[in-house]
Chain A
């Protein structure tokens, strides 16, 4: 077919990445073995998710049950992480929290990735063409400019304020703030892919716009979007917690890391550290886990780094065989 000249810069990058002999689950497992930190990331996230799902069975206490007699108990038994100023069990709340934080962050990030990539792909593809498409593409990009000119955090709070305080509002705020990132990323990808010879060849061969976008542009632009997505989730969790921290997100007493930290804020000066420190630690560790996963995906999504890694893994494998 006209779409794939045999070699040189004309070949679709997606195909050359797999031709390097570095695909599949075995490769992924070898990567985790060689970089235990990446494995740690997957373990952290899996643990958090499992605990959150099983929270009703794992949590020793009702996460929203105040117990006035047991307020500000230091960590010990039976309150492993102590109790907060209203006497709620911190450990139970900490493992319930990701049900809110993760759900919001995932939903918000996914929405922004889908909407942003779609708009970005269209903007990038039609930008180079004449007529109404160029105009529309320019409009979308200017809108993104204005959106990004806002101080991110103030904007997110404003979105929540406009929509009223609710879970959905926080999701929409997270999505709004992140959309321009995917828009720009996808547009850049599409603009560079469009100039590739195999796309030009397909165009000359008479493949339709939609066909080109679907067959050539999207598959090749997906890797960086996925990498960005995995990095972005952690950041979205932080944003969700931050919104709740200043009271523009989830309302107390719903178990949520950001609002828990806010509730413990006052007592930390008096030396009662546990109501704030534990939820913050859980938050930081979870985000760190996502960041590790994100960087492993970044490596896998970048053909050059992937090839370099494949070489290193092979060298390790041989060294192991040689010593055995």
Chain B
């Protein structure tokens, strides 16, 4: 451990593959060979449509894949340690303390029968050795940090008494409770009003930057990632199809699917035309192929795309795309 460099990744995924068995057929692979590493303090956005494997990615990193699915191949290392080698108890100590999670729809994910104070206190008590007054003091401090007004009163509130934005802040307080090194945010702001969403995002950005926590920001809204992610990754059918530094990605997207996502998001017609280039949106869905999984929705698809699975290739320094015919500009 002593020879670790400050820039060594906090978390590294190598060839992570998650599969669900299916009776009388090939297992369904919802994640296929994901490679991804986050440096300390780095914020990486992961964008994808529903069903692309976003949530499974979050759960796989936590090593909490729902049965009967399982991690079929690959390695997840945290701080250089292979998480696959850890026993259940060591994994449990990692979750919530070193790796925290911010979830979507927190009102249904918080225990309906416990107060905010009890739920924050639970995490503090089981990860840190604090006595009761200390737990209360720390809980109030956390609620203040996530800008919850009147924390003395809110600490006794039940989840159903909170608004969506408040519940989201409570979940952030729980995530921050043990000062984790790495936070996963899974579609965390998706259920909120736009104004509240902006507040929560700003808060999240501030807290992460201040503490130098690494953040994996999973979302279906590619626009959000433009604001505060250092790198952006696009997930399609369980694969990373493009990943690159934020500026490079938005200035020069390579993969046709990433371009479609961007174009769908763009309000500005010029920007839209810039991104689309010679690509037009909305190709009809063709038959499934053994090649590129996007081929049947891709207007640029050639014969090669339908037969040969493309590799993730470096197009520019740090900017990778998985496409035989990346878009040139």
Chain A residues within 8 Å of B, Cβ to Cβ:
20-22, 26-27, 30, 308, 310-315, 317-318
* Chain B residues, CB < 8 A from A317: 23-24
* Chain A residues, CB < 8 A from B270: none
Question: B317 in the interface, Cβ–Cβ < 8 Å?
Answer: no
A314 contacts B67, C-beta separation under 8 Å: no
* Chain B residues, CB < 8 A from A27: 23-24
28 contacts between A and B (CB under 8 A): A20-B22, A21-B22, A21-B23, A21-B24, A22-B23, A26-B24, A27-B23, A27-B24, A30-B23, A308-B67, A308-B68, A310-B21, A310-B22, A310-B23, A311-B21, A311-B22, A311-B67, A311-B68, A312-B68, A313-B23, A314-B21, A314-B22, A314-B24, A314-B25, A315-B21, A315-B68, A317-B23, A317-B24
How far is the CB of B281 from the nearest CB of chain A, in Å?
Answer: 19
Residue of B24, B25, B27, B69 contacting most chain A CB atoms (<10 Å): B24
How far is the CB of B233 from the nearest CB of chain A, in Å?
Answer: 24
C-alpha gap A310/B21 in the complex (Å) = 8
Within 8 A of A (CB), among B65-92: 67-69
* Chain B residues, CB < 8 A from A310: 21-23
Question: B20 in the interface, Cβ–Cβ < 8 Å?
Answer: yes
C-alpha gap A26/B23 in the complex (Å) = 10
C-alpha gap A221/B300 in the complex (Å) = 45
How far is the CB of A14 from the nearest CB of chain B, in Å?
Answer: 18
* Chain B residues, CB < 8 A from A308: 67-68
Chain B residues within 8 Å of A, Cβ to Cβ:
20-25, 27, 67-69
How far is the CB of B278 from the nearest CB of chain A, in Å?
Answer: 29
How far is the CB of B9 from the nearest CB of chain A, in Å?
Answer: 33
* Chain B residues, CB < 8 A from A318: 21
How far is the CB of B172 from the nearest CB of chain A, in Å?
Answer: 29
Q: A27-B23, A314-B24 are in contact. List 13 more A-B contacts (CB 8 A).
A: A20-B23, A21-B22, A27-B24, A308-B68, A310-B22, A310-B23, A311-B23, A311-B68, A312-B68, A314-B22, A314-B25, A317-B23, A317-B24
* Chain A residues, CB < 8 A from B24: 21, 26-27, 314, 317
How far is the CB of B230 from the nearest CB of chain A, in Å?
Answer: 33
How far is the CB of A320 from the nearest CB of chain B, in Å?
Answer: 13
* Chain A residues, CB < 8 A from B68: 308, 311-312, 315
A311 contacts B25, C-beta separation under 8 Å: no
C-alpha gap A21/B25 in the complex (Å) = 8
C-alpha gap A262/B290 in the complex (Å) = 70
C-alpha gap A233/B310 in the complex (Å) = 58
* Chain A residues, CB < 8 A from B69: 311
Nearest 6 pairs of A and B residues by beta carbon? A311-B68, A310-B23, A314-B21, A311-B21, A314-B23, A22-B23
How far is the CB of B30 from the nearest CB of chain A, in Å?
Answer: 13
C-alpha gap A21/B26 in the complex (Å) = 11
Question: B66's closest neighbor in chain A, by CB?
Answer: A308
* Chain B residues, CB < 8 A from A313: 23
Question: B22's closest neighbor in chain A, by CB?
Answer: A21
Question: A31's closest neighbor in chain B, by CB?
Answer: B23
C-alpha gap A318/B27 in the complex (Å) = 11
Question: B68's closest neighbor in chain A, by CB?
Answer: A311
Question: A306's closest neighbor in chain B, by CB?
Answer: B23
C-alpha gap A21/B27 in the complex (Å) = 11
Question: A315's closest neighbor in chain B, by CB?
Answer: B21
Residue of A27, A311, A312 contacting most chain B CB atoms (<10 Å): A311
* Chain B residues, CB < 8 A from A315: 21, 68
* Chain B residues, CB < 8 A from A30: 23
C-alpha gap A22/B20 in the complex (Å) = 14
Question: B25's closest neighbor in chain A, by CB?
Answer: A21
How far is the CB of A251 from the nearest CB of chain B, in Å?
Answer: 51
C-alpha gap A318/B26 in the complex (Å) = 11
C-alpha gap A26/B24 in the complex (Å) = 10
* Chain A residues, CB < 8 A from B25: 21, 314
* Chain B residues, CB < 8 A from A26: 24
Question: A30's closest neighbor in chain B, by CB?
Answer: B23
C-alpha gap A317/B21 in the complex (Å) = 11
C-alpha gap A110/B257 in the complex (Å) = 56
* Chain A residues, CB < 8 A from B23: 20-22, 27, 30, 310-311, 313-314, 317
Residue of A27, A312, A314 contacting most chain B CB atoms (<10 Å): A314
C-alpha gap A311/B20 in the complex (Å) = 7
Question: A308's closest neighbor in chain B, by CB?
Answer: B68
How far is the CB of A239 from the nearest CB of chain B, in Å?
Answer: 38
C-alpha gap A22/B28 in the complex (Å) = 14
Question: B51's closest neighbor in chain A, by CB?
Answer: A7
* Chain B residues, CB < 8 A from A21: 22-25
* Chain A residues, CB < 8 A from B20: 311
C-alpha gap A3/B23 in the complex (Å) = 28
Question: A23's closest neighbor in chain B, by CB?
Answer: B23
* Chain B residues, CB < 8 A from A22: 23
Residue of B20, B21, B27, B67 contacting most chain A CB atoms (<10 Å): B21
C-alpha gap A318/B25 in the complex (Å) = 10
How far is the CB of A211 from the nearest CB of chain B, in Å?
Answer: 30
C-alpha gap A26/B25 in the complex (Å) = 13
C-alpha gap A22/B21 in the complex (Å) = 11
C-alpha gap A27/B23 in the complex (Å) = 8
C-alpha gap A108/B14 in the complex (Å) = 62
Question: A312's closest neighbor in chain B, by CB?
Answer: B68
How far is the CB of A118 from the nearest CB of chain B, in Å?
Answer: 35
